[in-house]
Structures are given as C-alpha cells and as structure tokens.
A and B are shown apart, each in its own frame.
Chain A
Amino acid sequence: MSRQSLAKAHQKIQELSWEPQYHEPYMKYGTDYTFRKAAKKDPLKQVLRSYFPMQEEKDNRVYGASDGAIRGNMFRQVQERWLEWQKLFLSIIPLPEISAARSMPMLFQAVPNPELHNGQAIQMIDEVRHSTIQQNLKRLYMNNYIDPAGFNNTLRNFHSDYCGTIGRQFAEGFITGDAITAASIYLTIVAETAFTNTLFVAMPGEAAANGDYLLPTVFHSVQSDESRHISNGYATLLMALSDEDNRQLLERDLRYAWWNNHRVVDAAIGTFIEYGTKDRRKDRESYAEMWRRWIYDDYYRAYLLPLEKYGLVIPHDLIEESWNQIWNKGYVHEVAQFFATGWVANYWRIDSMTDEDFEWFEYKYPGWYDRYGKWWENYNRLSRPNGHHAIVAEDVDYVYPHRCWTCMVPCLVREDMVVDKVDGQWRTYCHEACRWTDAVAFRPTYEGRDTPNMGKLVGHREWETLYHGWNWADVIQDMGFVRDDGKTLTAQPHLDLDPKKMWTLDHMRRMPHVASPNVILNEMSDSEREAFVADYNAQGPAGRPAGSTS
C-alpha cells in the first residue's frame, strides 16, 4: 500500500463507519446518560497499518531491555524492600488493565458515534497488551529475584487477599453498572487521566531509584498508550456535556470516581513510593509533592478546571479534601502503618523503617516522628519471632480499625469515620464521601431521578467477616500464603531470609482469634454503637486509642 499521509488514511477509514440498515446491534450494557448523535471526531486518529508496527517496535525495546537486565545482573542491585511491594502491585494491575479492554464495547453501545468506536477498539488492543506484558514482567521477577514466594502464587493471592479486593475496585468499577459511569467517567476521565500519572510515571521513577529499571521500561511503554486513552475519555465527556440532562449524572459520577480513586490509588501507590523505597535523598519528591504536581496541578488545574465553562460541575471540595487527607491527616502513612500491622494476612515481606527513613519522613512531613515513629520502632522490635506475637496481636497503642464498606480501605483517619444502616446492615465508612457513594450514588434513584442502570456495591466487602472466629494459622493456610516447606509464612515483617528468623504457622497458632469488626458492630445495641462511634472518632493519629497521651 502506498504511503498515504496519516490524515488521508484516517479520513479513508471513516468510510467504514456503520449505520445499521436492517438490524440494530444488541444493547447489552445500559446507561442513564443520553447522547445525541454528533459528528465528534475520532481523537486517536490511529490506523492499524502504522499502529501494529509501532507497538511491535515498542515491544522490541521492552523485551530487549528485559534481556539486558538479566544479562546485566540487575537483581544484584535491586532493593528487596522495593520488589516485595511489587508482589502486591503486580498481582493487582493485570486485572484492571484487561478490565479496561473489556469495558470498551460497553462504550460502543452507549456512545452513538461510530467514529469514536475506532479509538475505543484501539484502546481495547492496548489494554490486552498491558495486561499480558505486566503478567510477563511479574514472571520475570519470579524467575530472577531472590524470593519468588508471593510472585509464584500471585493471582490466587490477589483474588483472596483483602488488599487485592481493594485493588479490584480499580477493575470491576470499569466494567460493571452504568456503562458511562464505569467505562468513561471512572476509567478514562479519572483513573486514566488523573491517577495513571502516579501509577505509571511516578512509581517507575521510584523503581529506577531502587535498582529496578524493568518496571520503568514496561510501565513507561504502557503509559505511552495511556496518553491516547485520555483523548478517548475527553471526546466522550464533551459529547456527554452537550446534553443538559447528563450534567447531574456527571456531577455524581465525578464525585464518586474522584473520591474512590483517591482512596484506592493514593493508599496503594502512596505506600509503595514512600515506604517501599530506599532512596532517602532529601531532594527527591515525596508522594505528596508528586501528587501536588501530577494530580492537583496537571489534572485538576490544567484538565478539569477548563471544563467548568462547558457546564461540568467539578468536585472542588473533594479534591481539596483529598489533599487535606494526604497532607494534614497522614492518609498514606496511616495506610502504610495498617499494611504493616496486618503483614500476617498478606503475601509479601514488609521491611522495617530505619533511622535514615525516620529522618527523611520528618524532613518531608514535619511531625511524622511524633505520630508514627514510636509505632515503627515497635514494628522493628517485634519483627523477628522471639516469644511474642506478631504486632497485630501485641499492645503497641494501636486499635485495629474497622473497614470502610465502600472503598474497603480501613477507616484510618479515625475522626472521619461515620456509620450508617444501609440495606439493613450497620456499616462503617472511612469518610462521608464513601457513605454517600454507597447510600446515595449507587442506587436506582438519585436526587429524585430514576437511575435504573446504576450499579450496586455487592460482595463480602469486609474481609475479616469470612474469618470471624478463626485461628490465624488456619486463616493463612486457607488463603495459601505459606511457603513450600508447608509452615513458613510467605509474608514476613522483615527482609531476613534466614529460616530461623522467619515466622511460621506455629507462631500464628498461639495468637488470639480473628474477629470481624463489622460482625461485632452489628451485635451492638444502639447505645453501645453510639459509644463505639464516639470512642472511634476520638482515636488516632496512628491508630492510638482515644485519650492516649503517648
């Protein structure tokens, strides 16, 4: 085929656009949004003739770098503290990626503009790429990194672990419920446009600083596709905005999507970047600084704000509140502390923090040591089995938190926790915005308007419920987080691989049983529950009991 200009070639393939003459396609996925047919242009302008060779070339670079990393003995320089957290991250991320591929046909049906469907189909192909290239990266880590445990049973772990379930919102949220809420607003407008910056740009930078240049190789290649997907979302958003009736739904969905992304992504990526690194140069950006740059300035100020003039109601209050959570309320630190508290229920090893780490945290987040320093010293003290329990069962001035029914991250900023009786069950929420998401947004009516296509929050959303009354050793065995000797735990609260220093099921067997906070909450009388809420709201920071002076 002659080398026609891309513009000419793209113009030509528009002749493929299909207007059904005899049968309309089956509409499987509904939306409460309305779209008028509009001559919106395909923002991607991709022609497969050039797309496939371009992707092949990108692949060649990625796989060439992978070979180079192995031949160059990259793993002699990789920080274990960093790579352990990849056992969590890389167990989660292939599902969101493939879910994004699955979500694209939901848009074909919801958005009546054949020209946009081309861009959505390209995105589908990209997402298949991302999911499988990430599974492959994890396989490479499993084969070459010192400790394959946690990588080798990765997807079983992800499917049965509470952290995996939190991450799964960033997948199921793309493919279930109202097609536009899921595949457009939650996925492309918020997750991809805002939060992939921290996922796929900020995090790889930290990986490189920890001796891992494969993660940047793969994820920067992935991010070069994401920038195209952002254009897809923008085109659909402009179409949605052109119909006044959609604005109420857009406002609802932006609030839900923003807050949920903040709760989930900032919890995970913030922890990886702040607590998974050994790079403590004072001039390297903290997660808060990155967030301010990538999300607040680049997304909120440069992308969202200009859309206000088209009638988009922007959740300014929630964006400011997210910053408040990160900067003033220690959201990321609270999450990292909780991950480390519950290390026994996970499938990766979590390193202690050292004096160098303390100094960095204090420099970047003044007041950090007073809040969290003592607890991390306790974590270090209790990291090797020596006649004591794992930290979750020891008295270290930490109250085990209740879980948020909506985002499933525990209610860690204690003063913000709210309770509500929804669908006949008392539920705890980490913040009023999460209560609103469950009790108000994900319902068949919204502010008096029928929303019959809106999805539902379902499932066993509190992990502890399943193991209420179980012995910890049985819990860990049931989840499969045990190494091939049949007794040593996959997870450890330190990086020492000396078998004598590693925790086993025998240590777990001596601990008190698991108790579900939600089961207990629902057994309380009204007065007990009121007292519980008052006490909970008075707890913290760093999970300290109410009234604690330490």
Chain B
Amino acid sequence: MTTTENSARSVPKPTFTDAEAGAKEFPDSGPSARRYNYYKPAKRKQTHYEDVTVEVQPDPRHYLTQGWIYGFADGSRGYPLDWTKLKAWGVDNPEPERGPGSGGKPVQDWPAHGWHEFRDPNEEWELTMFRYNANVERQIGQNVENARNAKAFDQWTQNWVRFVERHVGAWMHIEHIFGLYIFAACNRSGPTNMHNTAMAVNSEHKIRFAQDLALYNLTLTEEIEGFDGAAHLDAWNNDAEWQGVRKVAEALTAVDDDWGEMIFGTNIVFEPLLGELFRSNLVQQAAPGNGDYVTPTVMGAGEYDFAQRDLRWTQACMGLLTQDKEFADHNKQIMQGWLSHWVPQCLDAARQLQPLWSQPDAKPPRFEDSLDRAKNRFAGILSDLGLDAPKELSQ
C-alpha cells in the first residue's frame, strides 16, 4: 500500500532562524538584560509574582507620560489615590506637570510613593490561584463523597441537622456578599495592580466558599431525609439571630466611597470577631460532638482561606500603612476611627448570634468563652498592626 500526498496542501514551512538566546553578542544580549528592569523588587531578587503583576497598572507618577486618557464625568481619572482616606508616603507630592516640550518626566527613583511597596505575601497570580482553589475543591469533594459513601450523615442528631440546614446554610450568604460586593467591587479601586489582584483573589475565595456551602447544602438535601434545603433562606431572611450579622455585612458594602475601609472593616474587624467566632468557635467546635466530621472539613477550607491567606495580605497591606514613614499617624487615626465604628456593630451582632450556642445537643464551649477567644485573636491582630484595641472591645 502506498501513501499519496495531497499536492494542493499548503502549509507554512519551518525555517532555521537561530533566534535563540545567546546566538549572537550585541548590546543587551547578556544574561543581565534578561529581567524586567522597570521596577525595584521588594527583596534582593525579583519574584515571578512581581514580574507578572508589578506596574501592569500604570501610574502617571511613574512612566505614564501622556497621562490617563479617559476621565470620569467628575474629572477623576485612572486609579485615583484618594479613593480611600488612607495615605502612603509621597502621595501628597504633586504629579509631574507635563505639557508642550516638558518631556516625559519618568520617575527617577522608583517607586514614586509608598502604595507601590505593597506585595501580596501569598504571591498570588493565575497559576497559584487556580492550583490552590482547584485543590480545595478536589479535597472538599473527596471528603463529602467519602462521608456520603460511609453513610456518615446518618449519625447526625435531628437538632444538628436543623442547625446545619439553617445556620451553616445561612453563612453562605455572608461569604457571597463579601465575595462580590466587597472584594470584587473593590478590585477596581486600589492604587496598584498588586492591591487589586489581591482583592480579586480574596473575592475568589469568598465566592468559592459560598458556593461550596451551597452545594454541600444540596448534597445534604439529597442525602438526609427531611433536610430542608431552603431553610437557610428562611434563617437568613427572618431569624433574629442572623439579622445583626446581616446588618453589619450589608453596612460594609455600603461604606461611603472608601475601599480601604471596606477591606479593613471586613478582614480586620468582621472576620475575626464574627467570621471566626461562628466558623471556628461554634461550628468547628460543636460538630464533632454531634457526630459530624464532615461539616468541619468544608468550613475549615473557608477558614484556612481567611486565616492563612486573606488576613495575611490584608495585614501586609495595612501594616505598611501603620508604619508608613510619612503617614503612619494619619493612618492609625483613620483606622482607630474605623475600629470605633465597626467593633461595636460586630460585637452587637455577635451577641445576637448567642442563642445558636445552645441549639446543638452536644454543646460547644460557652458563648462568652468563644467570644473571648475571638476578641483575643482580634486584639492580637490589632497589636501586630500597631493599633490600640478600642474601648468598645472590653464591653
């Protein structure tokens, strides 16, 4: 048998061009020319994360010589630095004035201001965020599947079933609101690409966790006879215990034009005082005693997102500002004001949650002990940031 070739076939011909690194010597051919050279790395060596994020979002104080080319109706342009009351060193220095014959006036000493010093300590970019979240999804899926096969849900008491369907279910709404209307919403507002990318990744965690809880709820509806998959909506909309938490969560989305306050209020105040209080100090503690080893694995994934990643970038972001060489006092004063505003609301909402502690048959640690633990953790976070615990915390 012979092979016949289609003579009409037209394909590009490979050509040997020898266009690979090192093939010739000329100005800029050396190894030192093979790195992004327009920014200063945070540490001695520039990281992969920095290479794919730093300076992608331009700044007229750096190289944006023709300036922003679109403006809002009120005249603001690009990513205004006054979209938060927080300030980083150098922001009050005037932007280079450019005009006929001025030249480009590129930055001489990078960075031009302190906002550019922020790096996400989690070093998140697309490769890391998909690997991380895909791993979480796989692990949760395997945990729940294993529990389903082992008929683990049969061990749950009726009270615990009610608790999970109403209250664990209600928590999905908090995560969803934060994911979309705090973190995704703020990813248009931050002063640098590093801030906005960290917020987008934080948003992913929240939206994913909300969906994890929703789909877990769906599984339980399928697996547990009498499990009411819509009870979480009733709890969220009507239970007195949830209305305080809901009110604060909604208030955080309504912060008046300040991405810094939204992020600070959510990750520095709400999450330790209400998020961890509910997730770690109630659900995680109560579940084992009530025969449930599955819910903590779902809840724990979300808790890890916050405790190990989302809080981490937020502390790095806010910590730079409380130690800022020019505006540390200004920033601390602003943050103390935010603490005075948000801490009482969160504590009030926490106390409204208190009846939940008595609902499971096997009781978790006392509410006051749980709240003390949350407060201590919160006070530690403030101490790390160089902030004072507000007087409201001791009330």
A153 within 8 A of B: yes
Q: Mark B224-248, 1 if CB is under 8 A from A, else 0.
A: 0000011011000100000100110
A189 within 8 A of B: no
Cβ–Cβ contact A105 & B188, under 8 A? yes
Cβ–Cβ contact B133 & A52, under 8 A? yes
**B223 to A, closest residue via Cβ:** A2
- Contact residues in A for B56 (Cβ distance below 8 Å): 94-95, 98, 131, 135, 155
B340 within 8 A of A: no
* Distance A499 CA – B25 CA, assembled complex (angstroms): 9
Report which of A26, A155, A210 forms a contact with B55, defined as CB distance below 8 A: A155
* Distance A28 CA – B12 CA, assembled complex (angstroms): 51
**B253 to A, closest residue via Cβ:** A25
A325 within 8 A of B: no
Cβ–Cβ contact A52 & B28, under 8 A? no
Q: How far is the CB of B293 from chain A (nearest CB, A)?
A: 15
Report which of B17, B48, B64, B70 forms a contact with A78, defined as CB distance below 8 A: B17
Cβ–Cβ contact B24 & A177, under 8 A? no
* Distance A211 CA – B148 CA, assembled complex (angstroms): 51
Cβ–Cβ contact B180 & A467, under 8 A? no
Q: How far is the CB of B160 from chain A (nearest CB, A)?
A: 19
* Distance A26 CA – B250 CA, assembled complex (angstroms): 10
Report which of A159, A208, A463, A469 forms a contact with B62, defined as CB distance below 8 A: A159
Cβ–Cβ contact A209 & B250, under 8 A? no
Chain A residues in the interface with B (C-beta under 8 A): 1-2, 4, 8-9, 12-13, 15-16, 18, 20-26, 28-30, 47-49, 52-53, 55-56, 59, 63, 73, 75-80, 83, 94-95, 98, 101-106, 108-109, 117, 121, 124-125, 128-133, 135-136, 139, 142-149, 152-156, 158-160, 162, 165, 168-169, 172-173, 175-177, 208-211, 278-279, 281, 283-284, 408, 444, 452-461, 463, 465-470, 474-475, 478-480, 483-485, 487-488, 490, 497-499, 502, 516, 519
* Distance A114 CA – B185 CA, assembled complex (angstroms): 13
Cβ–Cβ contact A102 & B187, under 8 A? yes
A152-B36, A484-B27 known; A47 vs B211 contact (CB < 8 Å): yes
Report which of A12, A106, A453 forms a contact with B217, defined as CB distance below 8 A: A12
- Contact residues in B for A102 (Cβ distance below 8 Å): 187-188, 196
Interface residues of B in 125-158 (CB under 8 A from A): 125-127, 129-131, 133-134, 136-138, 140-141, 144-145, 148
Cβ–Cβ contact A48 & B208, under 8 A? yes
Cβ–Cβ contact B73 & A30, under 8 A? yes
Cβ–Cβ contact A12 & B215, under 8 A? yes
- Contact residues in A for B48 (Cβ distance below 8 Å): 136
- Provide 17 A-B residue pairs closer than 8 Å at the C-beta atoms, listed in order of the A residue: A21-B246, A22-B250, A49-B211, A77-B16, A98-B57, A101-B187, A121-B179, A125-B204, A128-B129, A135-B53, A146-B21, A146-B24, A147-B26, A155-B58, A173-B70, A284-B10, A467-B104
* Distance A483 CA – B172 CA, assembled complex (angstroms): 55
B88 within 8 A of A: no
Report which of B138, B184, B243 forms a contact with A121, defined as CB distance below 8 A: B184
Cβ–Cβ contact A156 & B34, under 8 A? no
A59-B130, A131-B56, A479-B104 known; A12 vs B29 contact (CB < 8 Å): no
A104-B184, A160-B63, A279-B12 known; A53 vs B138 contact (CB < 8 Å): yes
Q: How far is the CB of A521 from chain B (nearest CB, A)?
A: 12
Report which of B57, B66, B233, B255 forms a contact with A463, defined as CB distance below 8 A: B66
* Distance A168 CA – B48 CA, assembled complex (angstroms): 24
Interface residues of B in 177-192 (CB under 8 A from A): 177, 179-181, 184-189
**B251 to A, closest residue via Cβ:** A23
Interface pick from B94-102, B314-322, B324-332, B362-370: B94-102
* Distance A98 CA – B251 CA, assembled complex (angstroms): 28
* Distance A75 CA – B15 CA, assembled complex (angstroms): 11
Interface residues of B in 1-41 (CB under 8 A from A): 10, 12, 14-24, 26-30, 32-38
- Contact residues in A for B181 (Cβ distance below 8 Å): 18, 25, 108
Residue of B17, B77, B186 most packed against chain A (CB within 10 A): B17
Report which of A9, A24, A55, A83 forms a contact with B130, defined as CB distance below 8 A: A55
- 4 nearest CB pairs, A to B: A75-B20, A159-B63, A483-B27, A176-B70
Cβ–Cβ contact B218 & A4, under 8 A? yes
Interface residues of B in 90-111 (CB under 8 A from A): 98-104, 106
B292 within 8 A of A: no
- Contact residues in A for B138 (Cβ distance below 8 Å): 53
Cβ–Cβ contact B36 & A154, under 8 A? yes
Cβ–Cβ contact A502 & B27, under 8 A? yes
Q: How far is the CB of B141 from chain A (nearest CB, A)?
A: 5
* Distance A177 CA – B70 CA, assembled complex (angstroms): 7
Cβ–Cβ contact A108 & B185, under 8 A? yes
- Contact residues in A for B355 (Cβ distance below 8 Å): none
- Contact residues in A for B246 (Cβ distance below 8 Å): 21-22
- Contact residues in A for B186 (Cβ distance below 8 Å): 105
Cβ–Cβ contact B72 & A177, under 8 A? yes
B283 within 8 A of A: no
B307 within 8 A of A: no
Cβ–Cβ contact A25 & B254, under 8 A? yes
**B62 to A, closest residue via Cβ:** A159
Q: How far is the CB of B130 from chain A (nearest CB, A)?
A: 4
Cβ–Cβ contact A155 & B38, under 8 A? yes
Cβ–Cβ contact B72 & A159, under 8 A? no
- Contact residues in B for A158 (Cβ distance below 8 Å): 58
**A26 to B, closest residue via Cβ:** B254
B203 within 8 A of A: yes
A13-B211, A16-B214, A479-B104 known; A128 vs B184 contact (CB < 8 Å): no
Cβ–Cβ contact B251 & A22, under 8 A? yes
* Distance A63 CA – B128 CA, assembled complex (angstroms): 13
* Distance A408 CA – B207 CA, assembled complex (angstroms): 40
* Distance A456 CA – B204 CA, assembled complex (angstroms): 32
Interface residues of B in 47-86 (CB under 8 A from A): 48, 51-53, 55-58, 62-73, 75, 77-78
Cβ–Cβ contact B75 & A484, under 8 A? no
- Contact residues in B for A63 (Cβ distance below 8 Å): 127
* Distance A49 CA – B301 CA, assembled complex (angstroms): 13
B277 within 8 A of A: no
**A206 to B, closest residue via Cβ:** B12
A18-B173, A79-B19, A95-B57 known; A456 vs B71 contact (CB < 8 Å): yes
Cβ–Cβ contact A79 & B17, under 8 A? yes
- Contact residues in A for B35 (Cβ distance below 8 Å): 142, 152
Q: Mark B204-221, 1 if CB is under 8 A from A, else 0.
A: 100110111011111100
* Distance A177 CA – B82 CA, assembled complex (angstroms): 18
Cβ–Cβ contact A278 & B53, under 8 A? no
Cβ–Cβ contact B214 & A497, under 8 A? no
- Contact residues in A for B78 (Cβ distance below 8 Å): 172, 176
Cβ–Cβ contact A128 & B197, under 8 A? yes
- Contact residues in A for B21 (Cβ distance below 8 Å): 75, 143-146, 148
Cβ–Cβ contact B29 & A16, under 8 A? no
- Contact residues in A for B223 (Cβ distance below 8 Å): 2
- Contact residues in A for B136 (Cβ distance below 8 Å): 52
B257 within 8 A of A: yes
Cβ–Cβ contact B176 & A18, under 8 A? yes
Residue of B14, B28, B32, B127 most packed against chain A (CB within 10 A): B28
Report which of B18, B36, B127 forms a contact with A142, defined as CB distance below 8 A: B36
- A16-B214, A490-B28 known; 17 new pairs, CB 8 Å cut-off, are A12-B217, A16-B210, A25-B181, A28-B189, A52-B130, A80-B17, A105-B188, A109-B185, A124-B187, A136-B127, A147-B29, A155-B58, A173-B70, A210-B12, A466-B102, A479-B106, A519-B100
**B136 to A, closest residue via Cβ:** A52
B392 within 8 A of A: no
Cβ–Cβ contact B19 & A80, under 8 A? yes
**A444 to B, closest residue via Cβ:** B73
A59-B126, A467-B101 known; A48 vs B207 contact (CB < 8 Å): yes
B268 within 8 A of A: no
- Contact residues in A for B17 (Cβ distance below 8 Å): 76-80, 211
Cβ–Cβ contact B129 & A135, under 8 A? no
Cβ–Cβ contact B72 & A176, under 8 A? yes
A18-B177, A145-B21 known; A159 vs B58 contact (CB < 8 Å): yes
